[in-house]
Structure 1
Amino acid sequence: MPPRRAAEALLLAALLTGGAACGSRLPESDFDSPPSPTRSNAAEPIRVGIIRSATSPVGGAAFSGPGDGAKAYFDALNAKGGLDGRRIEVVTCDDGGSGVGNNECVHKLLDERRVFALVATTALEYAGAPLVAKAGVPDIGGQPIGPAYDTYPHLYGIYGSLAPRAGGKPGWNGTLYGGTEVYRYFAREHGARTAAVVSYNQAASAAYARMITQGLKAEGYRVVGEQVDFALPNFRAVAADIRQQGADLVFDAMDTHGNAQLCEAMDAVGVRVTAKVTNVQNWASSVPKDFKNAPSCRNALWVTGSSRNHDDVTHSAVREFREAMKGRELSQWQLEGWAAAMWFTDAARSCAADLTRACVERFVNRPEPYTARGLLLPVGYEKLAEPPKTRRTCLSVARWQDDKGWVTQGGEMTENCFTVPQLPYQP
């Protein structure tokens, strides 16, 4: 299973009841009312840090969305009086997409600015994760680009985790597991049986492609592997072979620029597929601009994920997000960053007058899964001694249409579920 979903832990635990003490079992609806600024510490801001690879070598736009969404949430919260009368002070740091820069950001935010927590971390190389864990600073709702959120305590990725997370090796002695629900969905809903997987001849891209291939084969697909040179890609040759092989689906392990080039080549040679399945980083309103030269392929773009479609204006929480982001290009990662900030805020609010890091983590670690008012599929943390062999997993699905934007597919995401095998991989 691709890394973007391998960390997901959609825990369907029974709701527990409890008091309003620190780490309570209160349902999320109990946090809908604005707080009253009646506490003695009302004048003191709560400082949170956001680390992102805004100027990374692979392009800053890919890693800015979660931080933008989180900051928008905190700005909106402050405009309503803050958290129980306390303003949220956001301190950002750009690590430049390097391990050295990431360690510098961790030092700056934890040691110099003394942030209470990190929120919506989006780091290309999260080298400072061991330092965050050692300091006991909660990192809430980060994007699991690497294995850090399945390795270290005090780190809580936006998709949850079942892994032990004791430090050292990620997952279960260096092995992580992911499901095949994405491939099961396209087989069930569209009868797809042949899939092309396109990657660069670059280590990370090739490894990503291998995981996609493993999942597809487990679901009975015939897989056509396609690889292009990272420096001089010949997408026209790849597109021609995809057409000859009669692929129903096209998956990729590439960035937005590579996706756009592939789509242009597919249009040029007349490739028509059921779905060109892209990743959550490309689930954005910039599609018309990014894929402007590939109208046919553009309207075959599909995406899967673990959060509610940011174009689903029928949902009240989505409308609130969109109102706060008005005037900007929107993306799914922004919505997930918004949800991460909400998660931290709900956890902090549960502590009442006794706001501590331990209290915030007790809320995040509670058995009741978190949904950010329905923006996320249920998220939770459970340290399993052994990985599950199968799991019931749900997914959010959308497709692009020029006249409508991203249109939700498969019905309500909490009901678009499959019991699928969990396949091992080494991150």
Structure 2
Amino acid sequence: MAALLLLTAACGSRVPESEFENRPTRENRTASPGPAHGEPIKVGIITSATSPVGGAAFTGPRDGARAYFDALNAEGGVGGRPVEVLTCDDGGSGVGNNECVHRLVDEEKVFALVATTALDYAGAPRVSRAGVPDIGGQPIGPAYDTYPHLYGIYGSQAPRDGKPGWGGRLYGGTEVYRYFKREQGARTAAVVSYNQAASAAYAQLVTRGLRAEGYRVVNEEVDFALPNFQAVAADLRSQGADLVFDAMDTHGNARLCQAMDSVGAKVTAKVTNVQNWSDSVREDYKDAPGCRNALWVTGSSRNYDDTGHPAVREFRTGMRGHAGGDRLSQWELEGWAAAMWFTDAAKSCGDRLTRACVERFVTRNEPYTAHGLLLPVSFRPSEEPPKTRRSCLSVARWSDDAQDGKGGWITQGGDMSENCFTVPQLPYSP
């Protein structure tokens, strides 16, 4: 479930108002000055920086990757060769995404793509056909479980033979629900969704997982255009929900939290996803301090506020002075890890850097952890979908008292590599 990102507010694509808007712009072309002076290695980053869900929704992985490559170039690059980063904003549309792929792959001849974060990855088949490695992308849709040469940040066991998952079916585990049942004693969970197709479909998937773990589930639906969060919050209180999961965007979550505070609906955890694992909760939930301090997140990467870990400290140091660096997020950390993954793969090739060599590193038997930032990632395809899987989980909760009273995320459940469960894998259609 960790790899299934919810973006239900973004139904439909923005129609460009002019030919200029329909043509994605290359945001930047950088090879930071430093000891690296050899022939540049071109790397592309595609981001839905301007999209229907807002300008900051997708930029974290891009900013984290760029910060890593800047630090890398200052230290000598890859064998003395700097990494030249070319970024492209696809506008959150399939047309724009195809344009970005054409520009970076066909015209600029990038060696690889890194930290792709696209609302509609329509150009994925073209990337795959060109044999361009796409490393560490965010699996917003099914592309990273569909095509060869695409390597999502969380790995995949799917055959990736041109069809999603196994015969068009993907599978997700119930480890999140198992965690809250075991560690927090939760028994009743509410799932709040919009009356909108994508939101309802995700809510159904969450409901199935909760019931598989023995929860009593309360389903709440709100009108997308005129949501009555007060009524939902009142029902959550009367139903005695321990947990609240959602199939909504950040704005909807903030309004729900405000309503919960206003009616006195207290829960053990208001559970959100990795996309909302950021410092911005201070402002997003500023009018709901009670609910804000009940926010929990789960994912597959180490908490960016876990400053006791050396790889996290290196990430935070590298982000200083970069766009977005004053407001950290988990997606920035995962973008940093994606750039590190590509770099480690490239360095493994020595002076014979080829795409085939990079992909041998990515698909090797030894799982990749980005020096402890990621749970072990691998791409070992299975002919049959797994019925059960041992899955580990990174968990954190927000506290206004953390970081000397500035607020921050506190790691829960011990080290993520030991917070593990053997859970059933449930099928769903992408």
Fold shared, TM-score > 0.5 on shorter chain: yes
- In the other structure, the counterpart of 1:406 is 409
Shift of 1:271: 0.5
> In the alignment, is residue 295 of structure 1 matched against residue 277 of structure 2?
no
Name the amino acid aligned to 2:295.
L
Residue in structure 2 matched with residue 274 of structure 1 by the alignment = 268
Q: Give the aligned CA root-mean-square deviation in angstroms.
A: 1.3
In 2, the alpha carbon distance for the partners of 1:83 and 1:231 equals 51
SS in 2 for 1:62: coil
- Among 31, 37, 57, the alignment partner of 1:62 is 57
Helix, strand or coil at the partner of 2:126: helix
Deviation at 1:83, TM superposition (A): 1.2
**Does structure 1 residue 425 correspond to structure 2 residue 420?**
no
Write the distance in 2 (CA, Å) between the matches of 1:51 and 1:251.
30
Number of the residue aligned with 1:308: 302
The partner residue of 1:355 within 349, 353, 369 is: 353
Matches within 5 A, 1:88-107: 88-107=83-102
The one-letter code matched in structure 1 to 2:392 is: C
Q: Deviations over 1:301-345 (max 9, x none)?
A: 000000000000000000010011125200000000000000000
Aligned to 1:171: 165
Q: Which residue of 2 aligns with 1:285?
A: 279
- What amino acid is aligned across from residue 307 of structure 2 in structure 1? V
Q: Give the letter for the 1:421 counterpart.
A: P
Matched, 1:187 2:190: no
Query: Match of 1:334, as an amino acid?
Result: E
Matched, 1:76 2:71: yes
Q: Which amino acid aligns with 1:61?
A: A
- Letter aligned with residue 251 of structure 2: H
| Structure 2 Cα separation of the partners of residues 316 and 371 of structure 1 | 14
Identical positions, percent: 78
- Compute the displacement of 1:206 (Å): 1.3
Contact 1:99 1:128 in 2 (8 A): yes
Shift of 1:60: 2.1
One-letter amino acid of the counterpart of residue 399, structure 2: Q
Aligned to 1:25: none
**Structure 2 residue aligned with 1:128:** 123
Q: For the residues of structure 1 that align with 2:208 and 2:5, how far apart are their CA atoms?
A: 14
Identify the match of residue 376 of structure 1 among 369, 374, 379: 374
- Work out whether residues 5 and 305 of structure 1, in 8 Å CA contact, stay in contact via their aligned partners in 2: no
Kept in 1: contact 2:169–2:427 (CA 8 A): yes
Counterpart CA distance in 2 for 1:399 and 1:211 is 23
Residue aligned with 1:393, SS:
strand
Secondary structure at 1:257 match in 2: helix
Match of 1:212 among 184, 190, 206: 206
For 1:174 and 1:202, locate their aligned partners in 2 and report how far apart those are by CA, in whole Å: 22
Q: How many angstroms apart in 2 are the aligned matches of 1:261 and 1:342?
A: 37
1:170 is paired with a residue whose SS is: coil
**Alpha-carbon deviation of 1:233?**
1.1
1:254 aligns with 2:257: no
Distance 2:150 2:351 in 1: 24
CA separation in 2, counterparts of 1:205 and 1:55? 22
Is 1:343 the counterpart of 2:341? The answer is: yes
Tell me what 2:4 maps to: 4
1:160 aligns with 2:116: no
**SS of the counterpart of 1:277?**
strand
Partner of 2:22: none
The match for 1:238 among 198, 210, 232 is 232
Q: Report the Cα offset of residue 62 of structure 1.
A: 1.4
Cα deviations by residue, 1:212-265 (Å, 9 ceiling, x for unpaired) = 111000000011111111111111111111111110000011111111111001
Q: CA deviation at 1:5?
A: 7.6
8 Å contact 2:124–2:143 — kept in the other structure? yes
- Secondary structure of the 1:414 match is coil
Could you say which residue in structure 1 is the equivalent of 2:327? 329
Residue 108 of structure 1: aligned partner:
103
Residue 4 of structure 1: CA displacement?
A: 2.5
Aligned counterparts of 1:397 and 1:3: Cα–Cα separation in 2: 14
Alignment partners' CA distance in 2, 1:215 and 1:5: 16
Structure 1 segments, 4+ long, off by >6 Å, are: none
1:112 shift after superposition: 1.1
Listed one character per residue, the Cα deviations across residues 67-111 of structure 1 (whole Å, up to 9, x for unaligned) are 110000001101112111111000000000000000000001001
Taking CA–CA contacts closer than 8 Å with sequence separation of 6 or more, which of the two structures ends up with the larger relative contact order?
1
Give the aligned length: 393
SS at match of 1:89: strand
**1:368 is paired with a residue of what secondary structure?**
coil
Contact 2:3–2:154 (Cα < 8 Å) also in 1? no
In 2, Cα distance between equivalents of 1:325 and 1:353: 29
User: Counterparts of 1:98 and 1:214 in 2: how far apart (Å)?
Assistant: 31
Secondary structure in 1 matching 2:410: strand
Name the counterpart of 2:419.
416
Structure 2 residue runs of 5 or longer lacking an equivalent are 7-34, 403-407
Report the equivalent of 2:27: none
Equivalent pair of 2:2/2:299 in contact (CA under 8 Å): no
**SS, match of residue 203 in structure 2:** helix
d(CA) in 2 for partners of 1:5, 1:254: 11
